[in-house]
Amino acid sequence: MRNNLFKKADTLGIISSFLCLIHCISLPILVSIQPVVGKFIDEELHFLEYVFVGLSLIAVYFATRSSHVTLRMKWAFYIIFVLFTLGIFLEDAFVWLTYLAYAGSVGLIVMHIINIRHSMRCSVPEHAH
């Protein structure tokens, strides 16, 4: 049961980071064509970014709780998460931080994939999934 929770945390992290990346890339495009599709697009969709930050925090927390995760991997997860969060929260003040949010989203996807692969190759029997 516990191992299943850790696998689901990585899956949640990959899905939420990917959806966030799609949202962040597509929202400026949709807003720019707003005169054409104005009734269907609302610029207030930025609240979704905060939902993605929350989901990412949950996924990172549970993914790093597994006993097979190394200290280096934990540090990488949390550093990338902080960079991602800074990019999301400060992108209105500094437009270039949008790219930090993109990079953080991709970084979280990569870290969750690394975590899944690492757990599959873990040689400690009680860590095996």
Q: What phi and psi, each to the nearest 5 degrees, are found at residue 27?
A: -60, -45
Distance CA 57, CA 118 (A): 20
Mean pLDDT, rounded, of the chain = 76
Q: Is residue 129 very low, low, confident or very high in pLDDT (cuts 50, 70, 90)?
A: very low
DSSP symbol at 66: S
Write the pLDDT tens digit of every residue in 58-97.
888 888 887 778 899 999 999 999 999 998 889 888 888 8
Judged on CB neighbours under 10 Å (0-12, 13-18, 19+), 125 is exposed
Distance CA 16, CA 4 (A): 18
Distance CA 4, CA 67 (A): 13
| Lowest-confidence segment of 13-22, 81-90, 94-103 by average pLDDT | 13-22
> pLDDT higher for 33 or 128?
33
Q: Give the predicted TM-score (pTM) of the model.
A: 0.73
Distance CA 107, CA 66 (A): 19
pLDDT > 60? residue 113: yes
Q: Give SS3 for 92.
A: coil
Ranked by mean pLDDT, which of 25-29, 47-51, 78-82, 125-129 comes out on top?
78-82
